[in-house]
Chain A
Amino acid sequence: MNMLATLGKYSLATVKEIGKISMFSAKGFRCCLTPPFYFKEMRRHMVVVGFYSLPIVALTALFAGMIIALQTYVGFTRFNAEGAVATVVVICITRELGPVFAGLMVTGRVSSAIAAEVGSMKVSDQIDALTTLGVNPFRFLVAPRMIAGMLMVPFLVLIADIIGVMGGFLISTSVLDFSAGSYINQTVQNLEAIDVISGLVKASFFGFCMSAFGCYHGFYSDVGARGVGNATTSAVVASCIGVLALDYLLTAVFFGK
């Protein structure tokens, strides 16, 4: 009976938390669509999310492309299909690995930073100060971060796609003895618009997800250094799970039967 009660208690708490996050995200998203907009804040966060995440995303994409080329070559030689390496690399990168790796790397970097910044602002009364100045904290803190996430993660994914395919090309031509011309031809011929578009749409959702979780955990962080630390950890864990769950859902929407 005790076990059932505990299970019920945790289930209710989980449902309540999901409800709170959903309401928070919806409120934040509504502020993204209606004025007033804080363009200066938006620009600042676009630089933080987009520009400063570029090196880490580029490196991740480069290695991902190189690894897929090698692994595919090794696997496909078993049934003499090594000619399909270029096709597999470009489809894997644009549809899946570009968006997911970029999403996870940016989440690790940005979601934690958002939670820590917003959490510190809460602890030091800066969020209350915004309210007393007549500024809606959702418009000033949440909306600019959400917009920055939704716009800049697709931009990062586009770059990750290009660098990832280049990584595959480098390994294929320098290590696996593919001819550059035929590799590029095969890549271009087998790449469809939906491959890239689906990745960019996913990226936009990932950007929204990591900003929403970062802001939510910051907003509701407990007081003190420990509270902010816990909020940061929770934000990263929840965002990563959110990115993977969204990835599955959107893949099902785009490519499911």
Chain B
Amino acid sequence: MSNIVFSNVRKVFDSGLCVLNGVNLKIEKGESHIILGQSGGGKSVLIRCLLGILELTEGDIVVDGISVKDPDRWKEYMKKFSILFQGNALFDSMTILQNVKFAASQINKSKEAVDEIAREKLHAVGLEDRVFDLYPAEISGGMQKRAALARAISLEPEVLVFDEPTSGLDPITGGVICNLLKDTVQSLGVTAITITHDLRVAEFLADRVSLLNKGVMVWTGHADDMRGCGNEFVENFYKASNVILRK
């Protein structure tokens, strides 16, 4: 399990757009941390910076003493993470089983072990053998999410990152996936970072919550303390989430 420290993280794109402006955050080992915020608030960019997909403009991210900027320990750094992408990002040209085997083969050399691990992980997320040889386009969104989760956990990461895990799913499937994520995180005992704009998902999964608004971390605290914390942005976020659409 990993301890993650974001120090004064700043990200400015070539176009001059500043998406993250001095983000400071500490995530303890084994906690389930939610990064909550509006669309376009910088949540996905923050995660992409954490995973080294985007370079930081300023600041640093350190995981168990290894900096994201340290090229000598890059492989060691990356091995700690696994991500469940918003759109699942399953490889179109591979079957479900091949997708998971491809991930498992990155840390296992023996073909038999890779096959065994891939099948075990797919069963663990509730997928049946009949879908193993299908391509991602041939299964439902919920099944794709499960397959992507199986691929993520087959890397045996210390930190699991979930990017909008319920987006695009109906409420029932979204609920099932949320339960699956919670069970998976608890059974593996890993650190989990979830980014979402859905308060229900946040309250269900979180140990601690951080609210990101326009590239600035406006509040961090325990999930139970979020309601009535007195922070104006948090209050407004609650109010906005409870708006009922009228005819």
CB neighbours of B155 from chain A (8 A):
133-134
CB neighbours of B106 from chain A (8 A):
133-135
| Stretch in A87-95, A120-128, A179-187, A237-245 touching the partner | A120-128
Residue of B nearest to A123 (CB): B87
Check B92–A126 contact: CB distance below 8 A: yes
- Pairs A–B under 8 Å by Cβ, sample size 12: A124-B89, A124-B92, A125-B85, A125-B87, A126-B92, A128-B85, A128-B89, A131-B51, A131-B52, A131-B78, A132-B51, A132-B53
Counting chain A residues whose Cβ lies within 8 A of the other chain, the interface size class is 10 to 19
CB of B81 to closest CB in A, whole Å: 6
Q: Is B135 an interface residue (CB 8 A)?
A: no
Residue of A nearest to B107 (CB): A134
Check A133–B85 contact: CB distance below 8 A: no
Check A128–B91 contact: CB distance below 8 A: no
**Alpha-carbon separation in the docked complex, A95 to B106 (Å):** 45
CB neighbours of A128 from chain B (8 A):
48, 51, 53, 85, 89
Q: Is B82 an interface residue (CB 8 A)?
A: yes
CB neighbours of B220 from chain A (8 A):
none
CB neighbours of A7 from chain B (8 A):
none
Check A125–B75 contact: CB distance below 8 A: no
Check A129–B85 contact: CB distance below 8 A: yes
Check A132–B83 contact: CB distance below 8 A: yes
Residue of B nearest to A125 (CB): B89
Check B86–A125 contact: CB distance below 8 A: yes
Kindly identify, within residues 105 to 162 of chain A, every residue whose CB is under 8 Å from any CB belonging to chain B: 120-121, 124-126, 128-129, 131-135
CB neighbours of A126 from chain B (8 A):
89-92
Kindly identify, within residues 74 to 124 of chain B, every residue whose CB is under 8 Å from any CB belonging to chain A: 75, 78-79, 81-83, 85-87, 89-93, 102-103, 106
Decide: A133 near B52, CB < 8 A? Known: A124-B89, A125-B85. Answer: no
Q: Tally inter-chain residue pairs, CB-CB below 8 A.
A: 44
Counting chain B residues whose Cβ lies within 8 A of the other chain, the interface size class is 20 to 34
Check B103–A133 contact: CB distance below 8 A: yes
Check A132–B87 contact: CB distance below 8 A: no
Known: A121-B92, A131-B53, A132-B81. 6 other contacts (CB 8 A): A124-B87, A126-B92, A128-B48, A132-B78, A133-B106, A134-B78
**Alpha-carbon separation in the docked complex, A128 to B152 (Å):** 13
Check B79–A134 contact: CB distance below 8 A: yes
**Alpha-carbon separation in the docked complex, A133 to B154 (Å):** 10
CB of B244 to closest CB in A, whole Å: 33
CB neighbours of B85 from chain A (8 A):
125, 128-129
CB neighbours of A44 from chain B (8 A):
93
**Alpha-carbon separation in the docked complex, A121 to B94 (Å):** 13
Q: Which interface residue of B48, B89, B92 has the most chain A CB atoms within 10 A?
A: B89
**Alpha-carbon separation in the docked complex, A125 to B88 (Å):** 8
Residue of A nearest to B161 (CB): A132
CB of A148 to closest CB in B, whole Å: 14
CB of A136 to closest CB in B, whole Å: 11
CB neighbours of A121 from chain B (8 A):
91-92
**Alpha-carbon separation in the docked complex, A120 to B136 (Å):** 14
Nearest 5 CB-CB pairings of A with B: A129-B89, A125-B89, A125-B85, A126-B89, A128-B53
CB neighbours of A132 from chain B (8 A):
51, 53, 78, 81-83
Kindly identify, within residues 42 to 93 of chain B, every residue whose CB is under 8 Å from any CB belonging to chain A: 48, 51-53, 75, 78-79, 81-83, 85-87, 89-93
CB neighbours of B53 from chain A (8 A):
128, 131-132
CB neighbours of B92 from chain A (8 A):
120-121, 124, 126
